[in-house]
A and B are shown apart, each in its own frame.
Chain A
Amino acid sequence: MSYQEKRTIVMSLTSLVVLIAYAIDAFGRGMADLTDLKAWAGKMLLYLVITVVAVIVVQIVFHITVPVSMAVRTAVANRGEVDEVELERKIKTEFIEDEMGKLIELKASRVGMIIAGVGFFSGLVSLLLEQPPAVMLNILFFAFGSGSIFEAIAQMIFYRRGV
């Protein structure tokens, strides 16, 4: 499995965990007050910040652990002897983002945008059906959250199946 695939899995899992945490926090203790829009906005903003921070931290940790694990694997395979120049070149190639990676990212982001768009549409429909605005806000939040997860899944599929 390549670095890009591993990174995609880790990122999507991070988004999924934060989304589940939000769902438990928001709806876990019985039905929340759907009229208090300020509280909902505050909660959503808080989880957006948590998502951004979590993604950055996970990305940094991942960016450090991958080369270390590569170095360890090389050392084990070569019984302690590591050609540093060769290893550095290997790591550089592993981290490279080339034209295929960019194309996959572009195609996958389209999938994410479609999910977010469907969510926006559903949110508007919910308002038309006289649901409280908090329902629309939640639909939007989950649509954008699941959009990023589906984007990652699409990336995985494109990496496996090809483009």
Chain B
Amino acid sequence: MSSPNKSALPTHILDEIRELPARYPQPRSAVMPALDLAQEELGHLTPEAMSEVAEALSLDPGYVEGVATFYSLFHHQPIGKHRFYVCTNLSCMLRGANEVVDHLKQAIGVERSDQVSSDGLFSFEEVECLGACEYAPMMRLDHRYFYDLNDQKVDALVAERRGKPVVTAEKPKPKRVPRKKPGG
């Protein structure tokens, strides 16, 4: 346990947060970018971190928590080092997203979105449409989109992040280039 005097956020992050309000027409707009910095540092937003953000921005802690709990990209519990955000909305569901989720759960050994794999590496969440429906089923992972998902692709992504070589019977596909001919 940390001592009561020790702050949740390091000084340089708090300094950065204090500089944010000047960038906006009104200081309150800094609350989301500030929470972003805090979450990037800690992985998720603890009550202490939200209080420190509030103090740095001269806002009410309850207000900051109110904002932080509204938006689904802010996490309030520990998440894995790599979090799989798998779209299961209609366009992806029609192309097998539920099966992708089932396979992913097995591959990382996690059943629910509020759990983290025992090695701390992985967690997942089913999310709403991510706006890449022509590549369904798809997901977001480590600030990137991954397309045309299937069991093999999920296995490869997990294995890469475990640092183990990817075992696959298929030979690697040649890199695809955009079609030259007009398509539509």
A and B found bound together: no
Binding site for B on A (CB under 8 A): none
Binding site for A on B (CB under 8 A): none
